């Protein structure tokens, strides 16, 4: 029982660190882009960069639930 709890805690800690790293990469990239002064250089390298995908860190069942909730949210907005 203790071993299972320890494994679960270690898994959660790994996920947390992965989330932090992805977030840091994304923020770092955005800061680098914002520091550019030349608009032409900025346009040449500016692209949608996303390292952090919070849904990818969820277990399968929770991920499916979240995706369904998002889908239903979009559907309700489109109907308006």
User: What pTM, to 2 d.p., does this model score?
Assistant: 0.47
The reported pLDDT for the residue numbered 5 is 93
Per-residue pLDDT of the chain (80 residues; tens, 9 = 90+): 899 999 999 999 988 888 888 888 888 888 777 776 555 565 656 666 677 788 888 888 888 988 898 888 888 777 65
Q: What is the pLDDT of residue 11?
A: 92
Q: How far apart are CA 56 and CA 49, in angstroms?
A: 16
Phi, psi of 54 (to 5 degrees): -55, -30
């Amino acid at each position: 029982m203790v071993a299972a709890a320890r494994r679960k805690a270690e898994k959660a800690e790994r996920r947390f660190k992965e989330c932090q790293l992805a977030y840091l990469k994304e923020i770092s990239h955005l800061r680098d882009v914002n520091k550019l002064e030349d608009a032409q250089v900025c346009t040449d390298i500016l692209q949608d960069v996303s390292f952090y995908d919070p849904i990818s860190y969820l277990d399968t069942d929770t991920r499916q639930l979240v995706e369904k909730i998002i889908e239903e949210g979009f559907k309700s907005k489109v109907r308006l």
